Structure 1
Amino acid sequence: MQVEVAYALPHVQILQKLDVPPGCTVEQAIRLCGILQQFPEIDLAKNKLGIFGKFTQPQAVLQPHDRVEIYRPLIIDPKEARRLRARKR
């Protein structure tokens, strides 16, 4: 079955399609696509994961055409970022 793995940085976005066997988990798909070798900063124990924008666990079983998303940690709390922008205005 075909799935996609997505990871985005400010300067580059990766979307890799791959064929995986039925019963494949989120973590297995990430490891199979080779993205961990391209981006060694990805830590599956720390980075949050999702399927189509909804948080999920590494052990979740994928369905055909799912898009696995690897999320980066926030640099600044969104509420604090809004406060800083409001102060500048």
Structure 2
Amino acid sequence: MGIDVVRAWPRRHEAVHLELPEGATVGDAVSASGFSTDGVTALAVFGERVEPGHRLRDGDRVELLRPLEIDPKDARRRRARPK
């Protein structure tokens, strides 16, 4: 089955497409991707947080998540302030 693994930072990203056997887990995909997990605080499939043992389906996108730099509510308030 085809799986994409994505690691993103502000203004750049890395992605790799993998062919994994049926029954593969998120942990299997992360290991096979070759990406470092330094700074990764969570894992997600299409934006939904999952555990490493989560079973994947063909076409899933595994995302390596890093900590938020700013609370999204605060960021929106800053953008909405008059200049």
Question: Could you state the TM-score of these two structures normalised by the residue count of structure 1?
Answer: 0.78
The equivalent of 1:25 in structure 2 is 25
- Structure having the higher strand fraction is 2
* Amino acid paired to 1:32: A
**2:58 aligned residue (61, 64, 72):** 64
**What is the deviation of 1:29?**
0.4
1:1-89 alignment, distance < 5 Å:
1-36=1-36, 41-43=38-40, 47-87=41-81, 89=83
- Structure having the higher helix fraction is 1
Q: Which structure 2 residue ranges, 5 or more long, are not aligned?
A: none
Matched-pair identity in %: 40
1:22–1:42 Cα change, 3 Å: farther
Tell me the matched-pair count: 83
Over aligned residues, Cα RMSD in angstroms? 1.8
Query: Which secondary structure state, in structure 2, belongs to the residue aligned with residue 6 of structure 1?
Result: strand
**What is the deviation of 1:72?**
1.6
* Amino acid paired to 2:55: V
CA distance in 2, matches of 1:62, 1:80: 34
Which string of whole-angstrom CA distances, capped at 9 and with x for unpartnered residues, describes residues 34-79 of structure 1? 012xxx5244xxx221111222111100011111111221011122
Question: Could you state the TM-score of these two structures normalised by the residue count of structure 2?
Answer: 0.82
